[in-house]
Structure 1
Amino acid sequence: MHQHDTDDPAAFWERHYSSSDRIWSGRANPVLAATVADLPPGRALDLGCGEGGDAVHLAAAGWQVTAVDVSATALARTREHAAAAGVADAVATERHDLADYSPAGEFDLVSAQFLQSPLEFERASVLRRAADALVVGGLLLVVDHGSAPSWGWRHDHHVEFPSPAELYEGLGLDEARFRPERLESPERDAVGPDGEAGRITDTVVAVRRIA
Structure 2
Amino acid sequence: MSSDGRTDAEMWDDRYRESDRIWSGSPNTVLVREVEGLEPGRALDLGCGEGADAVWLARRGWRVTATDISRVALERAAGHGVDAGVADRVDWQWHDLGESFPGGEYDLVSAQFLHSMGDLPREEILRRAAGAVAPGGVLLVVGHTGFPPWERNPDPSVHFPTTDEVLASLELPEGEWEVLLSGEHERVQNDPDGNPATRTDNALKVRRRG
Q: TM-score, normalised by structure 1?
A: 0.90
User: Between the two proteins, what is the percent identity of the paired residues?
Assistant: 47
* 2:23 aligned partner, one-letter code: W
Instruction: Report if the CA contact (8 A) 2:113-2:142 is conserved.
Output: yes
Seen in structure 2, the aligned counterparts of structure 1 residues 159 and 73 have a Cα distance that, compared at 3 Å, is closer
Return the alpha-carbon distance in structure 2 between the equivalents of residues 48 and 30 of structure 1: 16
Return the alpha-carbon distance in structure 2 between the equivalents of residues 122 and 182 of structure 1: 24
Secondary structure of the structure 2 residue equivalent to 1:3: coil
Match of 2:44? 45
Match of 2:140? 141
Match of 1:4? 5
* 2:208 aligned partner, one-letter code: R
Match of 2:181? 182
Residue 59 (1) aligns with residue 58 (2): yes
Instruction: Report if the CA contact (8 A) 2:130-2:170 is conserved.
Output: no
Return the alpha-carbon distance in structure 2 between the equivalents of residues 151 and 198 of structure 1: 8
Residue 89 (1) aligns with residue 88 (2): yes
Return the alpha-carbon distance in structure 2 between the equivalents of residues 192 and 185 of structure 1: 20
Across the aligned residues of Structure 1 and Structure 2, the Cα RMSD in angstroms comes to 2.1
* 1:164 aligned partner, one-letter code: T
Seen in structure 2, the aligned counterparts of structure 1 residues 89 and 20 have a Cα distance that, compared at 3 Å, is same
Q: Deviations 1:97-129 (Å, cap 9, x if unpaired)? A: 100223211110000000001212211111111
Match of 2:128? 129
- Per the TM alignment, residue 151 of structure 1 is displaced from its structure 2 partner at its CA by 4.5
Secondary structure of the structure 1 residue equivalent to 2:53: helix
Instruction: Report if the CA contact (8 A) 1:101-1:126 is conserved.
Output: no
Deviates further, 160-169 or 73-82: 160-169
* 1:25 aligned partner, one-letter code: S
- Per the TM alignment, residue 134 of structure 1 is displaced from its structure 2 partner at its CA by 1.1
Residue 19 (1) aligns with residue 18 (2): yes
Give ranges in structure 1 of 5+ residues lacking alignment: none
Instruction: Report if the CA contact (8 A) 2:149-2:199 is conserved.
Output: no
Q: What is the total number of aligned residue pairs between the two structures?
A: 209
Residue 205 (1) aligns with residue 199 (2): no
Instruction: Report if the CA contact (8 A) 1:23-1:193 is conserved.
Output: no
Match of 2:113? 114
Return the alpha-carbon distance in structure 2 between the equivalents of residues 101 and 153 of structure 1: 34
Residue 102 (1) aligns with residue 101 (2): yes
Return the alpha-carbon distance in structure 2 between the equivalents of residues 48 and 124 of structure 1: 14
Q: TM-score, normalised by structure 2?
A: 0.91
Secondary structure of the structure 1 residue equivalent to 2:48: coil
Instruction: Report if the CA contact (8 A) 1:151-1:196 is conserved.
Output: no
Q: Deviations 1:132-155 (Å, cap 9, x if unpaired)? A: 111101100000012332346985
